[in-house]
Structure 1
Amino acid sequence: MTDLVTWAELCGSLAAIGGAAYARHAYPAAYWSTVGLPLAVARLLASYSSTMDACGLTVEPSRWRALAVRATTRREVRPVPPRRGVIRPTTTGLRMRLRLAPGQEPADVAASAERLRHAWGVHAVHVRDVKPGVVELRLVGFDVLRKVQMPRRLDGGPLQIPVALREDATAFVRDYRTVPHELVLGATLSGKSMYLRNLLTGLAAQPVVLVGIDCKRGVELAPFAPRLSALATDPDQAAELLPALVKEMEDRYDLIKARQGIAPGTPKELITSDIWGLPEGERPAPIVLFIDEVAELFLVATRKEEERRDEMVTQLIRLAQLGRAAGIYLEVCGQRFGAELGKGATMLRAQLTGRVCHRVNDEASAKMALGDIAPEAVLAACAIAPELPGLAVVGDTSGGWSRIRTPYLSLADAAAICRATADLAPDVPALDPFRPYVAPMPVEASGLVATARPVTE
């Protein structure tokens, strides 16, 4: 009987260990909530002071504290670590605030993030500056980018689209009011189209004018035609569409100038320099222009095509320089975007504040996207593996960068969202000639079943 109990206990222990190992690989979120979280908290509490000391994040105590310790305990006065706040567990890790000791700065903690990760047995440690003297440590328990699951609570708003997940388990929000224009680079099958798909369907649910230029005969953007106000599928159509957008931008500037020409006694809040200061009844709807494979607009074979290219590039540069105040935003996608494309390419790239770089075929392509704003991110972009489509490095002109990954969204689901939100497309008369043709849905696809009945005379 004793042997049976021993064998049962041994088998139970082995089954528990095997189940935990399987859950850690197949269901990392469940493993973290049940096993990883308690272990990480125990390690953090038990080794906090010694870990901070080993990482060089302790300072000498103040004179009064040293005198108090000697007077009350007669112990040796030890260095003081940053004061730790309340530990807040999350579904993906932990959050904890630190009050820095005198003489410390957030960069000191960020430089020790990798050591803290190993000491506390978590997947990653990210440091965020909260306010002077206070930083937040965000401990991530597992690789959240391996299987993307967007947070349940997403902070969004007008022209704010949660489009991907950051490596610190927070949502990456594409905010057009803050970053008006963006460049998205990536090789074939890198996930660039998935990023575009998530972004377009997020905007489809808002009263935003969506315009597309897809010189690959519309294979990328044509499925979203019900929601698009205009679509050009070759360079010839793009050469007609871009002047219409420039004319629309100029008309909006005339509207803004008319508002600025009001009487001198008008309150300050009624004086504006962009469309967002106009009264809601007079404010035109924002326009987002998606350009898929921008290189197709630059490539030429004859002198006539070269003249057309120069004209289109000039119009794109004007939209990038002046479009923000008129509520016109650019989303430019391609595999490469360098000076070899032709005249005006570098100037246009300089106007694209946001940068998203998926897996690329060479280091030069990564430098085109990130080299001029976040040089440290170039190596991270070159290290993206082919088996992780959708993984990208995002940077901005502040020099900050992070890894993101977009969730999977099938083309059929994205097209269904665009069909369901087709009535939200604002009316822009200037774009009516470029509205794509939308074939009527078959009777069976609309959910109706047609029953054949015999014809009687």
Structure 2
Amino acid sequence: MTDLTTLLEVGGPVAALGGGAAYARTKHPGVYWSTVGLPISTARLLSSYGSVMEACGLTVAPSRLRMLAVKATTRREVRPVPPRRGIIRPTSTGLRLRLRLAPGQEPADVAASAERLRHAWGVHAVYVSTVKPGVVELRLVGFDVLRRVRMPRKIDSGLLSVPVALREDATPFVRKYRTIPHQLTLGATLSGKSMYLRHLIAGLAPQPVALVGIDCKRGVELAPFAPRLSALATDPEQAAELLPVLVKEMEDRYDLIKARQDIAPDTPAEEITSDVWGLPESERPVPLVLFVDEVAELFLVATRKDEERRDEMVTQLIRLAQLGRAAGIYLEVCGQRFGAELGKGATMLRAQLTGRICHRVNDEASAKMALGDIAPEAVSAACAIAPERPGLAVAGDTSGGWSRIRTPYLSLGDAAETCRESAHLVPDLPALKPFRPEVPVRPVETKDSPVVWPRPVTD
């Protein structure tokens, strides 16, 4: 009986702790990492750093001075020297530390050993980035941050910058329109493309920008955000009328820039500009973001008359993509597929879209349309996205870099409420007033009616 009592006293708490840790690791990985995973991984890193670096081939032969010093002071064997390790900085999702590379090493050597380091130190993933020549940063991620996305609390953002997703290395993915003015977003049905677009609009709504939408699905995607939109076209006919107005707005802005460039000999250098951002704030036109949902609907034609209209719209879109950045006009083009089979001008328009986001697609050809011309190695990653993870995507740009991202959940009601609250920020653009969508009047809330209706008193 005494042995059984002792077993229960000792084994009970141990079993409870083990079960609690297993539950936390499955349901609350962030809590598990902060309480269990972080101390264990830190201990592994500190105790095995030298041997792991040597096993990964990241050590170099010691200098002659070091060899002489070791032989003169001790009788130990002179071992290869690993990269000098900096201070370990724990985070809510992993660890960070910097390495000073030894002479003859390069960041690619460390990046090639990232998978070995992951297994050696028992973390989910290891990412390598260059800080400066000779110094790299290792970002160790303790768990799969894309399984249940939680955006960081503090994110540096500003005008035309919207944090829309989380990268697989636990850093936020920020859509910066002034850095990447135009973007193509592809994805199949239920892939999370609409959620990504929803985050963009909700993030831009509180900012002093003009939002214009072309939604050829009869407005089902963009109509809930009508209170914040300066213009909305819900079919190709309306889009054919709206695009020339946008091109005229762009030309007017170029005339404004040219008027400012009437350079006099005594004009200060800081007053000479080639885009709207160099204009004084009092003269600067408001930035404009054009959202095009289901872009393929603008290319599909049934008659010769439709073909002429299509060619005009495509030409105007290409002009906006080529010249819009300097005028403060930015494009966000979305669709399920966007290739040469859509017709003349499709590939030329796609070439102007610097940023690329590819959600789950139905075939490899669609992934190649989005990423094949800028990051061919990312195509296989896009094709491997599972249907069980909506919102997961591959983000690439013309620099050749790419990463996996996932958009957190945002309900349509919350996004629409953000647009309603920001309706007073819709800028005054006279040319777009004919295209301003009709905003339904919200019913006036009355006082709560009594639960029990009064009854006449009877004798």
TM > 0.5: yes
Once the 2 structures are TM-superposed, how far is the Cα of residue 451 of structure 1 from its aligned partner? Answer: 6.5
Map of 1:449 onto structure 2: 447
Counterpart amino acid of residue 297 in structure 1 = L
1:423-442 alignment, distance < 5 Å: 423-442=424-443
- Distance in 2, matches of 1:321 and 1:223, equals 30
- Distance in 1, matches of 2:70 and 2:223, equals 73
Q: Compute the TM-score of the two structures, normalised by the length of structure 1.
A: 0.97
- Distance in 2, matches of 1:58 and 1:292, equals 52
In the alignment, is residue 126 of structure 1 matched against residue 127 of structure 2? yes
In the alignment, is residue 82 of structure 1 matched against residue 83 of structure 2? yes
1:302-313 alignment, distance < 5 Å: 302-313=303-314
Counterpart amino acid of residue 354 in structure 2 = T
The root-mean-square deviation of aligned C-alpha atoms, in Å, is 1.1
Secondary structure, counterpart of 1:301 in structure 2 = coil
Counterpart amino acid of residue 449 in structure 1 = K
1:58-137 alignment, distance < 5 Å: 58-137=59-138
Secondary structure, counterpart of 2:178 in structure 1 = coil
- Distance in 1, matches of 2:229 and 2:127, equals 39
In the alignment, is residue 260 of structure 1 matched against residue 258 of structure 2? no
- Distance in 1, matches of 2:323 and 2:449, equals 56
Counterpart amino acid of residue 240 in structure 1 = E
Once the 2 structures are TM-superposed, how far is the Cα of residue 178 of structure 1 from its aligned partner? Answer: 0.4
Map of 2:351 onto structure 1: 350
Counterpart amino acid of residue 279 in structure 1 = P
Once the 2 structures are TM-superposed, how far is the Cα of residue 7 of structure 1 from its aligned partner? Answer: 2.1
Map of 2:336 onto structure 1: 335
Secondary structure, counterpart of 2:220 in structure 1 = coil
1:201-236 Cα distance to aligned partner (Å, 9 max, x none): 000010000000000000000000000000000000
- Distance in 1, matches of 2:171 and 2:426, equals 30
- Distance in 2, matches of 1:50 and 1:451, equals 75
- Distance in 1, matches of 2:28 and 2:195, equals 24
Map of 1:279 onto structure 2: 280
Once the 2 structures are TM-superposed, how far is the Cα of residue 439 of structure 1 from its aligned partner? Answer: 1.2
Kindly indicate whether the alpha-carbon contact (under 8 Å) linking 1:57 and 1:109 is maintained by their aligned counterparts in 2: yes
Counterpart amino acid of residue 332 in structure 2 = E
1:280-429 alignment, distance < 5 Å: 280-429=281-430
Counterpart amino acid of residue 390 in structure 1 = G
- Distance in 2, matches of 1:199 and 1:69, equals 60
Map of 1:218 onto structure 2: 219
- Distance in 2, matches of 1:361 and 1:264, equals 60
Counterpart amino acid of residue 256 in structure 1 = I
Once the 2 structures are TM-superposed, how far is the Cα of residue 74 of structure 1 from its aligned partner? Answer: 2.5
Once the 2 structures are TM-superposed, how far is the Cα of residue 2 of structure 1 from its aligned partner? Answer: 4.1
Map of 1:455 onto structure 2: none
1:340-375 Cα distance to aligned partner (Å, 9 max, x none): 000000000000000000000000000000000001
Secondary structure, counterpart of 1:183 in structure 2 = strand
Identity of aligned residues (%): 80
Secondary structure, counterpart of 1:205 in structure 2 = coil
Counterpart amino acid of residue 11 in structure 1 = G
- Distance in 1, matches of 2:440 and 2:418, equals 16
Map of 2:56 onto structure 1: 55
- Distance in 1, matches of 2:168 and 2:426, equals 34
1:177-196 alignment, distance < 5 Å: 177-196=178-197
Counterpart amino acid of residue 205 in structure 1 = P
Structure 1 residues without counterparts, runs of 5 or longer: 453-457
- Distance in 1, matches of 2:419 and 2:333, equals 20
Once the 2 structures are TM-superposed, how far is the Cα of residue 8 of structure 1 from its aligned partner? Answer: 2.2
Map of 1:250 onto structure 2: 251
1:239-274 Cα distance to aligned partner (Å, 9 max, x none): 000000000000000000000003221100000000
Counterpart amino acid of residue 56 in structure 2 = C
1:275-298 Cα distance to aligned partner (Å, 9 max, x none): 000000000000000000000000
- Distance in 2, matches of 1:199 and 1:52, equals 43
Counterpart amino acid of residue 52 in structure 2 = T
Once the 2 structures are TM-superposed, how far is the Cα of residue 450 of structure 1 from its aligned partner? Answer: 7.4
| Runs of 4+ deviating beyond 4 Å | none
- Distance in 1, matches of 2:73 and 2:52, equals 26
- Distance in 1, matches of 2:281 and 2:43, equals 54
Once the 2 structures are TM-superposed, how far is the Cα of residue 67 of structure 1 from its aligned partner? Answer: 1.2
In the alignment, is residue 206 of structure 1 matched against residue 207 of structure 2? yes
Structure 2 residues without counterparts, runs of 5 or longer: 451-459
Aligned residues: 450
Q: 1:272 to 1:441 in 2, by over 3 A?
A: same
Map of 1:142 onto structure 2: 143
Once the 2 structures are TM-superposed, how far is the Cα of residue 11 of structure 1 from its aligned partner? Answer: 2.0
1:392-426 Cα distance to aligned partner (Å, 9 max, x none): 00000010000000010000111000000011111
- Distance in 2, matches of 1:60 and 1:143, equals 37
Map of 1:227 onto structure 2: 228
Counterpart amino acid of residue 355 in structure 2 = G
Counterpart amino acid of residue 330 in structure 1 = L
- Distance in 2, matches of 1:427 and 1:84, equals 56
Kindly indicate whether the alpha-carbon contact (under 8 Å) linking 1:354 and 1:397 is maintained by their aligned counterparts in 2: yes
Kindly indicate whether the alpha-carbon contact (under 8 Å) linking 1:391 and 1:403 is maintained by their aligned counterparts in 2: yes
1:145-164 Cα distance to aligned partner (Å, 9 max, x none): 00000001111011111110
Counterpart amino acid of residue 425 in structure 2 = L
Counterpart amino acid of residue 248 in structure 1 = E
- Distance in 2, matches of 1:282 and 1:262, equals 17
Kindly indicate whether the alpha-carbon contact (under 8 Å) linking 1:443 and 1:449 is maintained by their aligned counterparts in 2: no
Map of 2:159 onto structure 1: 158
Counterpart amino acid of residue 219 in structure 1 = V
Kindly indicate whether the alpha-carbon contact (under 8 Å) linking 1:292 and 1:334 is maintained by their aligned counterparts in 2: yes
Secondary structure, counterpart of 2:404 in structure 1 = strand
Once the 2 structures are TM-superposed, how far is the Cα of residue 443 of structure 1 from its aligned partner? Answer: 1.1
Counterpart amino acid of residue 253 in structure 2 = R
